[in-house]
Amino acid sequence: MEIRQLKTFKTVATLLSFTQAAQHLNYAQSSISAQIQALEDELAVKLFDRLGRRILLTEAGERLLLYAGKLLDLVEETKTEVAEASQPQGSLTIRVPETLVVHYLPPVIKRFQRRFPQVGLLFTTCAHEGLQKDLRKGLTDLAFIMADSIQATDLVSEALGFEPLMVVAHPQHPLAAKPVVRTSDFHGQTFLFSRVDCSYRRVFQQVLTQADVRPGGLLEFNSIAAIKQCVMAGIGITVMPQVAVAEEITTGRLAILAWEEGPLETALLMIWFKEKWLSPTITAFMEMVRTAV
C-alpha cells in the first residue's frame, strides 16, 4: 500500500469521480483506475460500487477512508516536523458557502497561492447534510457554514463574524410597496432558497413555522446567482446575506421588504474536526480567512 495510492483513493472518495480526480491530481484516468484496482487487490475488497457513471464508497471504502485520512495527516506532519520540507505540497478540501467564496475569499485564495504555490485548493459547496460526517472522515479538511451554532462535541467551531439577512423581492412585488410587511403576509407566497449557502434559511423558516405561515411554493437552487435572477424576474421572494444582494439593492433591481421582525442575522462559523492535525497550510488558510472576514 503506497502513500500515492492513498492520496488517489482519498481524492476519488472526495469527488466521487475518477475523471475529476484525474484532473485534480494531473494523472491519466487509467492511472487513477490502476491505483484503485491495486488497492482493491491488495486489500481483497471492493472500495467503490460502480453504478453506471456514478460511484459510491462501499463499507470497506468507508473504513479505509478513516485510516487513509489519519495516515496522510501523519505523513504531512512528519514532513513538516521532521523532514522540514522547504515547500509544502498536497491539497486542502474546503466546504464553503457560495456567498463566502464570491464576496470574501478571492483575496484569501490569491494570498494563499502566492505563499503555497504547490498546495491545491478544492472547494465544495456547503450543503449542511453530511458535513459533520465528512469532517470526521477527513473528506473535508475545513468547513464554513452560515448558522448560529453546530451541535457536536468532537468538532471545533469559531465564529468569524455575523451577516445580516435581508428578505428581498422584485421592486414591483406587491409586498415591496407595503410600509410594514407582517409575517402573515408571507402566507401563500413563493420563496426561492439556496442549497449551497447552508443553514441560514432555517432561521427564516423557523419564524414562519412559529407563526403558522405556509409559503405557497418553495424553489431550491444550487446557485445564488440563479436565485437573484429569478427574483429579479418577479418569480418570488428570497432571503440572503446582505453582502450577496447589496449591489442589486443599490441599483434598484431588488427591494428590501420592510418585515416587521426587522433584519435577521446569522453567524459565519469556521469548523474543523477536533482530532485533526492542523498543518501549517491549513493554519495559514484559517488565519487569512480570519483577517479577510
What mean pLDDT comes out for the span 231-250?
A: 95
CA nearest 99: which of 148, 149, 160, 145?
Answer: 145
- Torsion, Cα of 107, 111, 112, 114 (10° steps): 140
Residue 106 belongs to a domain: no
**pLDDT tens, residue by residue, 60-114:** 998 898 888 888 878 777 776 665 555 667 789 999 988 888 899 999 999 999 9
**pLDDT band at residue 126 using 50, 70 and 90 as cut-offs:** low
* Residue 213 maps to a domain: yes
Write down the pLDDT at residue 65. 87
The CATH number of the domain where 6 resides is what?
A: 1.10.10.10
In one-letter notation, the amino acid at residue 194 is: S
Main-chain dihedrals φ then ψ at residue 146, nearest 5 degrees: -105, 100
- Please give the model's pTM, rounded to 2 decimal places: 0.70
- The residues pairing with 271 across neighbouring beta strands, listed in sequence order, are 143, 157
Question: What's the CATH code of the domain at 172?
Answer: 3.40.190.290
Instruction: Please report whether residue 79 resides in a domain.
Output: yes
Whether residue 72 is contained in a domain is answered as: yes
157, part of any domain: no
What tens digit of pLDDT does each residue of 193-226 get? Answer: 987 665 678 878 888 999 999 989 899 998 899 9
Residue pair 80/248 in contact by the 8 Å Cβ criterion: no
User: What DSSP element (H or E) covers 255?
Assistant: strand 255-256
Query: What is the spatial distance between Cα 164 and Cα 59, in angstroms, rounded to a whole number?
Result: 42
Distance between CA atoms of 122 and 24, rounded to whole angstroms?
Answer: 8
Total domains in the fold of the chain: 2
> How far apart are the C-alpha atoms of 229 and 289, rounded to whole Å?
29
Structural domain including 68 reads 1-86
**Residues 82, 170: one domain?**
no
